[in-house]
Chain A
């Protein structure tokens, strides 16, 4: 299959991705641009480790083909902190111990950021549903939920 060029804005920068049309956004981010903060946990859209924001909405990058992001804005975990200042969600995950091994963390943080962007005052249940598609095998989730609550508080 011929390769194609995909234009997208990734973490605020315009990128020209030269890619096979059947490559996933996950592969393009990791292998072509070297943004390895986006992780592959299952490759089938069931674990959420590859969550990125596509025009502000959380998606599993393993289920999005690279050509689908033509003309769109992609935010990965590398694009959340500004000027070396952590996003309140990142800050809260660190301070509340909302992470252990760290490999689900990027996806988890982005799901939380997306939640707080559209609902700055979520209930605990809303938080749990917002991250229900992000599996974590280490923490048991409680400290993650608390971290998102703290971040919501701090963002107000």
Chain B
């Protein structure tokens, strides 16, 4: 494969459409004639039995076509993606705002008004809204999973008399996070005259949406086509949770014969769909006086909400990342998904990884401060080596290279970490005397993120590449575009695989009838998997075209061997015929005349990965994506306000296919992670209602919240063997670079301890909102005064 297009900072696919307002999202599609709009009838209770539904007043409203209830479902009344535990029309509601019926009307205002007229005989019962109470009551979705290595009990039990070891124990919680894709969930189902349904859905997983629609309608998969041209942000929120709305639209279309449109407005979107899982971690850990972590015993509980959704896999990934980048010789992790009466928490960029890694950083900091050691030094001392015992994770996979150390040392230098930390400390030391309310903190954290779906069979992809007789190319694959730049990167891959310029490549909308059975665009895998499939299809086409090109290149007395034909930059040429070229378009035309197929499918499956869940052992990841970040913050001791002053990032994207796109992923991922650890707090009321229901009450970072001093670099000379074009997945890993924000805040909070003292622990909630920061400062001051 040549590298004419790959490696270039190609603009994102559709950029010109976006800036001119011409790009169409599902909600922008022109509605077919007589289309219906759906609106939900929602539960005002977090838990209640659903008695009689009286829709007579709603049906009587002019413009109302139908009120959908459970009785209308011809197939299975269920949309669960893994376990079938999600009734689309429940007989018992399990979270506040859950839909029990849907009104179909000529327009949204009419449907909404009619929905308010539907009477439901609710029989409320006491909801389970508290994670700890649910654990105590044994309310779980799953049996516990385990990963264990070494003699954790032995180390921890033997630790007390051993003066060389310091042991800590505690509990730590991470908060929920709303995806807040600017585009809310939307689906448009259009009935075709032959009985098929075509569904335009804002979904990261069209094949699963297709499958759920077919299940609800009780029809074969071949009767349903799901198309996703683009999403206005996904972040995992549209991996499984786009399915229910598509099923409602499909049901409406199937029963009325009219196109049906479902779009959740912001309040319904945030009130009805899942978040990043809140976690509770209980831990015991030990560190030696030498700064080496010896043991970690960890219990993880996630709040899965009302249904299982993808929570089991999310917990699995959290457990596989509870080491972050640190070698912990004796480690035991137990994980279990808790059932509560809240929205069904779901995939969100990092997929449990952020929670697991936040716990790792919490434990490292606790251990370091308890032992009177420098947390930065402890991080550095415990980084994984490349191989051998010191480079093997708790589940038995070798890290494989020493990029973690390379990145760590390189970023320490490029960010002037030591100097700036000394400066921040000097600034803090004079703060009291200068009557400054603020303190500064600087911290550096690493990221090691495993790439591949941990459910091994999902690591497959298909593609279809069509060469047209004019030499232009259409590329289909199973991945979906949600702003991550997948189409741009894959167009570069296709261009170089075929040896044509990228302007010859047209990336096509994702459709289940063109590339079937595709996995979700998730787990950062879009480019790796679909790129592999496209490369395969292009190789087939090149093999077919090479003999055609060879005969076109052969001249008097020279016969060109197809094996020596090279395709590049829209031309074919051969070493034995220097100077002679033939245009790709001419080769395509000649091949067509010779009755050679110009269309090929491709397939890819990630080699060499496996995981034995029962044993908690395996090689679940094709490789690890690594990085590190240095963040410097300032914290106000009077208001709790936090300002990020500067961020330095060095991230490993392999040999980047598109640095513009990849750096964009790093920056965007970091800021999203920064929101999770700082300003974004999801709050549920005591009745189970979500109180942070819109941007009025839920604070994602704005342009004024992100640092002006922003130094992002990709690791140079970083080609990754065995991955498409030597690149590395970059969608999720950068989010966890933002753990450096939290650790920097902790450093700043520690600086509020009375002069000359150094706190033996600094507790900080996640998210570290202004309120949480003030609480942490108060506790630090009180502890310093012997309180």
Most buried by A among B25, B179, B484, B664: B664
Query: Does A137 contact B180, Cβ atoms closer than 8 Å?
Result: yes
Residues of A within 8 A of B235 (CB): 137
Across-interface contacts of A140 in B (CB, < 8 A): 664, 667-672, 701, 706
**A106 contacts the other chain (Cβ, under 8 Å)?**
yes
Mask: chain B, 689-720; 1 = CB below 8 Å from A; 0 = not: 00000111000111110101010000000000
A137 to B30, CA, bound (A): 26
Residue of A nearest to B22 (CB): A37
Q: Note all chain A residues with C-beta closer than 8 A to B15.
A: 93-94, 99, 102
Chain B: minimal CB distance from A125 (Å)? 8
Q: Is B232's beta carbon under 8 Å from chain A?
A: yes
User: Is A136 in the interface zone, CB < 8 Å from B?
Assistant: yes
Write the chain A residue with the least CB distance to B16. A94
Whether, in the assembled complex, B558 has its beta carbon less than 8 Å from a beta carbon of chain A, the answer is no
User: Which of A35, A95, A137 has the most C-beta atoms of chain B within 10 angstroms of its own C-beta?
Assistant: A137
- Please determine whether A77 and B182 come into contact, CB atoms closer than 8 angstroms: no
From A43, A80, A134, A145, give the contact of B20 (CB < 8 A).
A80
Contact with B along A37-48 (1 / 0, CB 8 A): 111111110110
Using Cβ atoms and an 8 Å threshold, which residues of chain B touch A38?
21
**Contact partners of B661 in chain A: CB under 8 A:** 97
Chain A proximity of B660: nearest CB distance (Å): 4
The residues in A between 81 and 130 inclusive whose CB is less than 8 angstroms from any CB of B are: 81, 86, 90, 93-95, 97, 99-106, 109, 124-125, 127-129
Per-position binary interface string of chain B over residues 646-687, scored 1 when its CB falls under 8 Å from any chain A CB and 0 otherwise: 000000000000001101100111111000000000000000
Query: Residue B724 at the A interface, CB < 8 A?
Result: no
Whether B703 and A144, one on each chain, are in contact in the complex, defined by CB atoms closer than 8 angstroms, is yes
Could you tell me if B483 and A102 are in contact, using CB atoms closer than 8 angstroms?
yes
Are A94 and B672 within 8 A (Cβ)? no
CB proximity of A123 to chain B, nearest CB, Å: 10
Determine whether A49 belongs to the interface, using a CB cutoff of 8 Å to chain B.
yes
The answer to whether A139 touches B667 (Cβ under 8 A) is yes
Q: In the complex, how many angstroms separate the beta carbon of A141 from the nearest chain B beta carbon? A: 4
Min CB distance B72 to A, Å, is: 28
Q: Which of B6-14, B146-154, B351-359, B758-766 contacts A (4 or more CB under 8 A)?
A: B6-14
Q: Is the CB of A143 within 8 A of B695?
A: no
CA separation between A144 and B702, bound complex, in Å? 12
Tell yes or no: B420 within 8 A of A by CB.
no
Q: What is the minimal beta-carbon distance from B39 to any residue of chain A, in angstroms? A: 14
Assess whether B181 is in contact with A101, with CB atoms less than 8 Å apart: yes
With the chains together, A142 CA to B30 CA distance in Å?
34
A145 to chain B: closest residue by CB: B703
Residues in chain A near residue B27, CB distance under 8 A: 36, 40
Q: Judge whether B182 and A136 touch: CB under 8 Å.
A: yes
In the complex, per-residue mask of B481-499: 1 if CB is within 8 Å of any chain A CB, else 0: 0111100000000000000
Query: Do A103 and B233 touch across chains, with their CB atoms under 8 A apart?
Result: yes
The answer to whether B182 and A137 touch across the interface, beta carbons within 8 angstroms, is: yes
Q: Do residues B11 and A137 form an inter-chain contact, with CB atoms below 8 A?
A: no
Contacts of A136 in B (CB 8 A): 182, 703
Q: Give the number of residues in A that approach B within 8 Å (Cβ atoms).
A: 55
CB nearest to A31 among chain B residues: B107
Q: Quick check: is A2 within 8 A (CB to CB) of the other chain?
A: no
Does B18 interact with chain A (Cβ within 8 Å)? yes
Tell me how far the C-beta of A27 lies from the nearest C-beta in chain B, rounded to whole angstroms.
9
Are A86 and B16 neighbours in the complex by a CB distance under 8 Å? yes
> Which chain B positions have C-beta within 8 A of A94?
11, 15-16, 19
Asked if A102 and B703 sit within 8 Å, CB to CB, the answer is: no
CB within 8 A of A102: which of B9, B230, B700, B710? B230
Residues of B within 8 A of A103 (CB): 25, 182-183, 232-233
Task: Name the residue on B nearest A107 (C-beta).
Answer: B182
Q: For A142, give its contact among B23, B24, B667, B696 (CB under 8 Å).
A: B667
The answer to whether B181 touches A95 (Cβ under 8 A) is no
* Residue contact A101 to B482, C-beta cutoff 8 Å: yes
A23-39 CB contacts (< 8 Å) to partner B: 30, 34-39
Q: Check B703–A132 contact: CB distance below 8 A.
A: yes
The answer to whether A47 and B695 have CB atoms under 8 Å apart is yes
B182→A47 contact, CB < 8 A = yes
A138: CB under 8 A from chain B?
yes
Q: State whether the Cβ of B405 lies closer than 8 Å to any Cβ in chain A.
A: no
- Interchain CB contact under 8 A, A135 and B695: yes
- Judge whether A8 is part of the interface by a CB distance below 8 angstroms: no
List the B side residues contacting A124 at CB < 8 Å.
708
Q: How far is the CA of A138 from the CA of B182 in the complex (A)?
A: 9
Known pairs A43-B266, A102-B18; list 7 more (Cβ under 8 Å). A41-B183, A86-B20, A97-B12, A100-B485, A101-B182, A132-B702, A135-B182
Q: List 24 A-B contacts (CB under 8 A).
A: A39-B183, A41-B182, A42-B694, A44-B266, A46-B694, A77-B20, A81-B20, A86-B16, A93-B15, A93-B19, A101-B231, A102-B483, A103-B233, A106-B18, A128-B703, A137-B180, A137-B181, A138-B664, A138-B668, A139-B667, A140-B667, A140-B671, A140-B701, A141-B671
